Amino acid sequence: MKRGRGRPRSAPAADAPAAVGQRIELTLERLTHDGRGIGRWRGRTVFVEGGLPGEQVQARVLRARSKLIETRLETVQQPSPLRQPLRCMHAELCGGCSLQHMSHGQQLEIKQQALAQQLQHFAQLTPQQWAPTLEGPAYGYRQRTRVALRWDRARRQLDVGFRQRASSELVNVEQCPVLVPELEAVLKTLPVVLRSLQAVEALGHVELIGAEHPALVLRHLRPLSEADRQRLLAFTAEHGLGLWLQGEEAAQGLAGALEPAYRLADQQLTLGFAPGDFTQVNPQINQAMVNQALAWLAPGQGEAVLDLFCGVGNFALALARAGAEVTGIEGSVEMVDRATDNARKNGLDQVHFLAADLSKPLEVPPGSPRFTAALLDPPRDGAEQMVGDLAALAVERILYISCNPATLARDAGILAGKGYTLVRAGIMDMFPQTAHVEAMALFRRQ
């Protein structure tokens, strides 16, 4: 028998899965390692981005599976006494800083727990000693950022800002309190000058660089008119920035713009880099990290040290300044050239750099000494190949700098299986207000 059109539909079952977009209410019990609140709803585990333990919240469903539901906080009906006011007006939309609602101490606690849990889960390891966290300013620390630009044809408007959380859309920003004050001041007036350009529809992105010789790097998709160049030069001069333009070729400095650089004051080093090169964005933590690396690795005078993923020489030059004989290896030929130039400018001749694909087996240059110590600072996917190669070389001490606790833990397990002890480990708060975890670990061959 067919149902009549007017018959009301039955209510969903109490155990029906949540629908995307649905609002649900729940009480949060604890935090995940990346700072999301965890609670239960109709027998399912729910992750709530932006929630804190003990809070009664209303959240909107982003993804729903049979046993897990991912949501975003909509309303805090009963807040935790630990909840912090949001310092940035864009924090609820912007995908950059997801932990502003937590105290700095609570942020450090979950990052420490993340590292410990990953080491235990993937490698069944606990270090012999946990090192104190390397801390710096909670705000105003970031001396480099990339600002996204997108021309909206329908609105005839250039969006200037950062990517929204869990979205490809942009947040038009008017402030960013994690930037150093000099760059935040630039960000406040940057949209006005960009929207005034004749080539407004053909702009790619902007990179703002602080430290020595601050710079604005503009990626553009078609040549700029002389009028546009003059507007940009006037703007950068007003803010004390060098102007770099990047079209189809590498970025070029205008009007005598000096190459960006940063200092490691404790080692009396200045390191130049080109726009697009990787450098650490937090100068205080970078200095503390280099100091800690030197203390943990403790290279002897003339000791042969291998620096893998060496970049422009951040660790290699500091190790050489401490008296080690350093060989730095990096995948980018251009960055090897920059590292070599940095060594020359700083008067260091006991450090040498070469280019090699570090995803492939390590080939030690002919005539190299026996390396008794090594430092590696790989990208997020870790250094599975390299740690095995270092073990095969019987390197006595390995210092691993990580931006991903999961791949650090995986690689730590490999080293443990090849006779290495995890002597010491600790986190470095390179990115306050975010869930990113940076860590350092020291391994010693048994």
397 and 421: one domain? yes
Please give the single-letter amino acid code of residue 288: A
| Statement to judge: residues 327 and 412 lie in one domain | yes
**Three-class SS state of 75:** strand
pLDDT of residue 108: 97
- What the block records as the tokens of 157 is 């408007």
Structure confidence by residue, pLDDT tens digits, 286-330:
999 999 999 999 999 999 999 999 999 999 999 999 999 999 999
Q: What is the mean pLDDT of residues 413-432?
A: 98
Catalytic machinery residues: 403
Percentage of residues of the chain with pLDDT beyond 90: 89
| Beta-carbon count within 10 A of 328 CB | 29
**Number of domains forming the structure of the chain:** 3
Residues 267 and 385 both lie in one domain = yes
- Does residue 287 fall inside a structural domain? yes
Confidence bin at 248 (pLDDT 50/70/90): confident
Domain boundary among 235, 254, 273: 254
Pair (48, 71) in one structural domain: yes
Same domain? For 69 and 175 the reply is: no
In a domain, 17, yes or no: no
Q: Quick check: 434 and 97 in contact, CB under 8 A?
A: yes
CA distance linking residue 104 with residue 423, whole number of Å: 27
- Between CA 19 and CA 17 the distance in angstroms is 7
* pLDDT more than 70, % of the chain: 96
Average pLDDT over residues 39-59: 95
Give yes or no: residues 404 and 281 share one domain: yes
> Is residue 349 helix, strand or coil?
coil
Task: Summarize pLDDT for 327-352 with one digit per residue, the tens.
Answer: 999 999 999 999 999 999 999 999 99
**Whether the Cβ atoms of residue 47 and residue 7 lie closer than 8 Å to each other:** no
Domain of residue 306, residue span? 107-137+261-445
Q: Is residue 2 part of a domain?
A: no
Same domain, 297 and 411: yes
Task: Give helix then strand counts, H and E, for the chain.
Answer: 8, 22
Question: Do 240 and 273 share a structural domain?
Answer: no
- Check whether 29 has a pLDDT greater than 60: yes
For residue 36, the SS3 value is coil
- Please report, for the domain that includes residue 193, its CATH number: 2.40.50.1070
CATH number of domain containing 127: 3.40.50.150
The verdict on 391 and 292 lying in the same domain is yes
Phi-psi region of 124 (alpha: psi -120 to 50; beta: other; left: phi over 0): left
pLDDT at residue 272 greater than cutoff 60: yes
- Give the model's pLDDT for residue 365: 81
Residue 111 has pLDDT above 70, yes or no: yes
Q: Give the three-class secondary structure for 192.
A: helix
Structure confidence by residue, pLDDT tens digits, 175-208? 999 999 999 999 999 999 999 999 999 999 999 9
pLDDT at 7: 46
> CA triplet 255, 260, 261: central angle to 5 degrees?
145
**Is residue 303 a part of any domain in this protein?**
yes
pLDDT at position 392: 96
Is residue 357 pLDDT above 90, yes or no?
Answer: yes
Residue 167, in any domain of the structure: yes
Same domain? For 284 and 244 the reply is no
The residue length of the chain stands at 446
C-alpha 234/C-alpha 440 separation (Å) is 43
On whether both 200 and 231 belong to a single domain, the answer is yes
- Among 56, 55, 367, 30, which residue's Cα sits nearest to residue 47? 30
Give me the chain's average pLDDT, please: 94
14 domain-assigned: no
Other beta carbons less than 10 A from residue 420's beta carbon = 22
User: Are 333 and 221 in the same domain?
Assistant: no
Q: What is the pLDDT of residue 95?
A: 82
C-alpha 223/C-alpha 218 separation (Å) is 12
Backbone angles phi, psi at 376, to 5 degrees: -140, 140
CATH of the domain at 66: 2.40.50.140
